[in-house]
Copies of this chain bind each other. A is one copy, B any other.
């Protein structure tokens, strides 16, 4: 049995959980919640960076980050289930993943600004610099949403849009009708997207 260290709200953990489902590997993975802030959590021995997700193999080998875990799951499933094998399609899917990961990184830096800093130390210019990355990426994607797919690019984009729903009240929806339709189609087809949604209590 493999063990996935993650936490329910993590968008990068969600990527991996959806990918495991798409690859037919969910039943081989137990999820054990990790606390990235707790110095005593074994997470920091598994991944010295203290970041989630991490996939632990029976051998004790730790695989991270989410991109590498997904490549591992793809190899385990025989290749091509998550990352296209054909070179051009592969690079397009991986570039879309990088774009959506970049949206997530910019969003998370905005969330951390409020979580880690007292109000006087928050910086409006920094927040604007990060939010503009997200805005430009969404604008580019709205011009030409990717084709319907369950590859690593589509999974990551769905998780990025889901994170904008969770942490930014879905404000992106108003100006991006084609992306809304894209996500509706993905969500209707890949059941684990809805099943992995984090609902704050």
Question: How many monomers of this chain does the complex have?
Answer: 2
CB–CB A133/B98 < 8 A: no
Q: Does A44 sit within 8 A of B, measured CB to CB?
A: yes
Distance, CA A44 to CA B102, complexed state (A): 13
Q: Looking at the complex, which one of B61, B94, B116, B126 makes contact with A116 (CB distance below 8 Å)?
A: B126
- Mask, A57-71, CB within 8 Å of B = 1, is 000011111011001
* Cβ < 8 Å to B, chain A residues 77-131: 87, 90-92, 94-95, 97-99, 102-103, 106, 116-117, 120-123, 125-126, 129
Q: Provided the pairs A91-B72, A121-B122 are in contact, do residues A98 and B64 lie with their beta carbons within 8 angstroms?
A: yes
Q: Provided the pairs A122-B121, A136-B48 are in contact, do residues A75 and B91 lie with their beta carbons within 8 angstroms?
A: yes
B residues less than 8 Å from A195 (CB atoms): none
CB–CB A44/B98 < 8 A: no
CB distance from A45 to the nearest CB of B (A): 8
CB–CB B50/A136 < 8 A: yes
Distance, CA A72 to CA B93, complexed state (A): 12
A-B contact pairs, 27 of them (CB 8 A): A44-B136, A47-B99, A48-B99, A48-B133, A48-B137, A49-B99, A49-B102, A49-B106, A50-B133, A51-B133, A63-B91, A64-B95, A65-B98, A65-B102, A67-B67, A68-B98, A71-B90, A71-B94, A72-B87, A75-B87, A75-B90, A116-B126, A120-B120, A120-B121, A121-B121, A121-B122, A121-B123
- By Cβ-Cβ distance, the 4 closest A-B pairs, closest first, are A48-B136, A49-B102, A48-B137, A48-B140
